[in-house]
A and B are shown apart, each in its own frame.
Chain A
Amino acid sequence: MAKRPLINHMKYIYSSICVLFFACSSPDKPKTISVETPISKETNHEKIEAIYYGVPSPMETTIILKNNCPIFSNDVLFPDIISGHLNNKQSTAILLGIISADLNYAILSDRPHETSILMNKVINLAKLLHLDAVVNENIKQRVENNLSNKDSMQIIIGNTFWEIENKLKQDENYKSSAMIITGGWLEGIYLACKMAKLYPENHGINNVVAEQKFVLENLIELNSEFKFDEHIHELIINDLIKLKSIYENVTIEYTNPKSTSEEENSNEIVIGNYFNLKFDVQDIEKIDNLVNELRNKVITQLL
């Protein structure tokens, strides 16, 4: 959805000047997109344009997490807070994102008891954001009817969160939408870091933490479209930017110089570059420390 189009327009005129200026020194940065040589027939239409940013849903992130580390730990779930005390829309939206990620984690881990509790929390938080037309007792009933069917629950929850995002955008409530996404991402990376700490030998889970480098870049760009409340900016946005600087240590090592668009077995098309992410244990520890700090701030100062 076009957000603040006029502001975007001005922002990208500025960005474009910066891109032209820095293009030679940082060719890998996504913002070079608008000045690189285009390849297809759309050449004739080429002009400097805005680019919007998307972030995978907390559900998708928790699926990746569970694929790499199937263990469930109740201790890592977000602690109970009294949501009745929430009087700020943006803080409520962050909490809704966080609890949604925990809900997905419980669903994927076949934890019906936790799923039921977290579903109730999601419903209560959605009410505070006037989203009860989307998340309500009907959804809860559908989830409970499918507690033994993980796939069905995921489909219900995945579609429900897409509907939430659409409803918020229809209501021009873009900031809440961005905060739900931010909260979901924050809890997803928190869970990944905890698992990485518990199972340091599990390269897959460490890699999941490292891969969040890309998602974080998009998340920061997405949030940069909005002016959030000052306390949100101080507590959350500033730390995300600090986290990005830690992620500079996670580097890309191309394993095949050619990028691909080829058919793999069973007629599946595989696209993109082949590369590995290079990082060491200390990088993951630094990421874990800052994510921990950020989540504690959410618990103690934001809510």
Chain B
Amino acid sequence: MRYLLLIPLLALSFSLSAQCRKFAKENCKESLQNYIPSGQSNTAELKPGERYQFMVTFYKGQHYRVVTCSDPKLGNLQFTIRNAKRQLYYDNEGNENRTFDFKVASTQQLVISLLIPKSAEANSDELMGCVSAIVGFRL
């Protein structure tokens, strides 16, 4: 019985994320410029105060660019890169910098977080929009 109750919830979740499916391609990809997408694009639908984070392996010797983008109605996107122990390496502090170019000291896993700031506006709980990040490498 409880599984029957889950079905409409799952359907709702998928239909919500469907709105964001082309978001990375239409809004983020161009900023990669001459970097080739590595692995998967990471897209989520967030509300103010919510965060999306994903872990990726970066190879020593490669030149990387992380590109982030978000629905403008969500406000400034905060974008950070940390190691698995949460040591912070990069934080755009919610400013306009949406891309970051770097190399890694050794091949390792890093966590990229995309955070939508909490909004003081009324009805901000109803606000929802797409955020995306793409990792690219340079030849």
Contact = CB atoms under 8 A, between A and B. Distances in A.
Given A2-B17, A166-B25, A269-B101, A54 B89 contact: no
B55 A162 contact: no
B9 interface: yes
A229 interface: no
B75 to A, nearest CB: 13
A231 to B, nearest CB: 25
Contact of A30 (B80, B103, B109): B109
Interface in B8-34: 9-10, 13-14, 17, 20-22, 24-25, 29
Contacts of A81: none
Given A27-B85, A57-B37, A261 B90 contact: yes
B25 A269 contact: no
Contacts of A155: 36, 139
A137 interface: no
B54 A169 contact: no
Interface stretch (A31-39, A139-147, A194-202): A31-39
Contacts of B22: 166, 170
A37 B115 contact: no
A159 B58 CA distance: 19
A270 B58 CA distance: 12
B23 to A, nearest CB: 9
B103 A60 contact: no
Contacts of A53: 54-56
Interface stretch (A90-98, A116-124, A213-221, A234-242): A213-221
A29 B63 CA distance: 26
B13 A270 contact: no
Contacts of A52: 42, 52-55
Interface residues of B, number: 69
B127 interface: no
A83 interface: no
B115 A214 contact: no
Contacts, number: 205
A260 to B, nearest CB: 5
Contacts of A55: 39-40, 56-57
Nearest to B134: A162
B103 A269 contact: yes
Nearest to A215: B57
A51 B44 contact: no
A218 B55 contact: yes
Q: Which of A49, A259, A271 has the most CB of B within 10 A?
A: A271
B13 A259 contact: no
Nearest to A262: B105
Interface string A65-76: 001000000000
Contacts of A226: none
B83 A273 contact: yes
B41 A40 contact: no
Contacts of A163: 25
Nearest to B133: A54
A214 B111 CA distance: 13
B39 A272 contact: no
4 closest pairs, A vs B, by CB? Answer: A158-B36, A162-B37, A271-B89, A52-B54
8 contacts: A28-B85, A33-B55, A39-B86, A42-B80, A54-B57, A57-B39, A260-B89, A271-B105
Interface of B: 6, 9-10, 13-14, 17, 20-22, 24-25, 29, 36-45, 49, 51-59, 61-63, 78, 80-91, 93-94, 100-111, 113, 115, 117-118, 135, 137, 139
Interface of A: 1-2, 4-6, 27-30, 32-33, 36-42, 44-45, 49-57, 59-60, 63-64, 67, 151, 154-155, 158-159, 161-163, 165-166, 169-170, 172, 177, 181, 211, 214-215, 217-218, 221, 256, 259-261, 264, 268-276
